[in-house]
């Protein structure tokens, strides 16, 4: 048969090739349009069941904001409306990469972990050790307990041999027991931003419930006031 000149396609194939190229170009343009499309200000919300209250205790750095999203202070009315929308029964939190529905579930899991370890056994799993360290961080003496910490173990309480508790092991070999109850109480206080005030016959005065301008104290509390309260709480715990 006749040879086709170099650089040319046989009859009829040129038009087909041009149509294929055009279709491919159209597909690329459509793909490009899809890849470049985005919603300004669209954020990924929490999973079902979290409901505004998923605290991540392991996150040390602030969440990176997506592009084209700017933060602005909320108006007092919007802030109060947001607080009112938060379900009161929701208390989910995340510790050492694991999600717990409530502090009670976290406490149950930690107690189960301690019972699974024989007295004198070190926490070998990274998740268990990280969870223990995160809880110790809410102890009133957390700075002293975590300083030069090299390991955490489960052992008998110095008061009762039938009770197990966490022990911190320092670089120099010093060991000290840690109260799990104090850690959980510190975590509760941190989540609530202020301790619960005892009520008289179930009644709380207006001056205790609302401050100046009808703002709750937890909303008006400054960082300095919070630091003062933590220092006083630490002193009271060591009395």
Beta-bridged to residue 168, according to DSSP, are: 152, 176
Q: What is the DSSP letter of 158?
A: S
At residue 42 the predicted structure's pLDDT band, cuts being 50, 70 and 90, is very low
pLDDT at 201: 42
Q: What is the DSSP annotation of 65-78?
A: PPTT----PPPHHH
- Break the chain down into helix, strand, coil percent, rounded to 5: 45, 15, 45
pLDDT at 83: 64
**Total count of residues recorded for the chain:** 239
180: nearest Cα among 192, 168, 196: 168
Q: How many CB atoms lie within 10 A of CB 133?
A: 19
CA distances (Å), origin 107, targets 49, 82, 131, 137, 191:
19, 29, 11, 15, 15
154 assigned to some structural domain:
yes
pLDDT at 209: 41
User: For position 176, which CATH number holds?
Assistant: 3.10.450.40
CA distance 152 to 166: 7
CA distance 81 to 96: 32
Q: Are strands 164-170 and 149-156 parallel, antiparallel or unpaired?
A: antiparallel
Q: For 18-36, what is each residue's pLDDT tens digit?
A: 554 555 555 444 444 444 4
Domain match, 136 and 172 both: yes
Q: Which residue has the higher pLDDT, 109 or 24?
A: 109
Domain match, 169 and 103 both: yes
Q: What is the DSSP letter of 213?
A: G
- pTM check: above 0.75: no
Owner of token pair 């809880």: 135
Q: Which helix (H) or strand (E) holds 165?
A: strand 164-170
**CA 139 to centroid of chain Cα atoms:** 18
191 assigned to some structural domain:
no
Domain match, 166 and 127 both: yes
Q: Which residue has the higher pLDDT, 63 or 112?
A: 112
Q: For 173-212, what is each residue's pLDDT tens digit?
A: 888 888 888 888 888 887 776 544 444 444 444 444 444 4
pLDDT at 212: 41
65 assigned to some structural domain:
no
Whether residue 77 has pLDDT greater than 60: yes
Domain match, 181 and 108 both: yes
The total of structural domains in the chain comes to: 2
Q: Give residue 129's domain range.
A: 93-186
Domain match, 102 and 164 both: yes
233 assigned to some structural domain:
yes
Domain match, 211 and 182 both: no
């Amino acid at each position: 048969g006749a040879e086709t000149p170099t650089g040319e396609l046989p009859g009829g194939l040129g038009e087909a090739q041009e149509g294929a190229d055009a279709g491919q170009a159209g597909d690329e343009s459509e793909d490009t349009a899809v890849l470049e499309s985005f919603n300004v200000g669209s954020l990924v919300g929490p999973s079902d069941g979290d409901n505004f209250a998923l605290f991540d205790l392991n996150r040390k750095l602030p969440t990176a904001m997506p592009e084209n999203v700017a933060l602005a202070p909320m108006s007092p009315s919007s802030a109060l409306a947001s607080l009112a929308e938060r379900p009161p029964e929701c208390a989910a939190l995340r510790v050492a990469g694991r999600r717990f529905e409530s502090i009670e579930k976290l406490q149950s899991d930690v107690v189960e972990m301690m019972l699974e370890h024989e007295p004198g056994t070190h926490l070998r799993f990274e998740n268990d050790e990280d969870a223990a360290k995160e809880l110790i961080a809410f102890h009133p003496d957390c700075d002293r307990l975590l300083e030069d910490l090299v390991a955490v173990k489960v052992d008998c309480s110095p008061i009762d041999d039938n009770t197990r508790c966490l022990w911190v092991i320092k670089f120099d070999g010093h060991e000290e027991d840690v109260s799990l109850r104090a850690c959980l109480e510190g975590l509760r206080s941190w989540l609530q931003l202020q301790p619960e005030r005892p009520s008289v016959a179930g009644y709380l005065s207006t001056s205790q419930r609302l401050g100046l301008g009808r703002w709750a104290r937890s909303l008006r509390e400054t960082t300095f006031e919070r630091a003062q309260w933590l220092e006083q709480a630490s002193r009271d715990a060591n009395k």
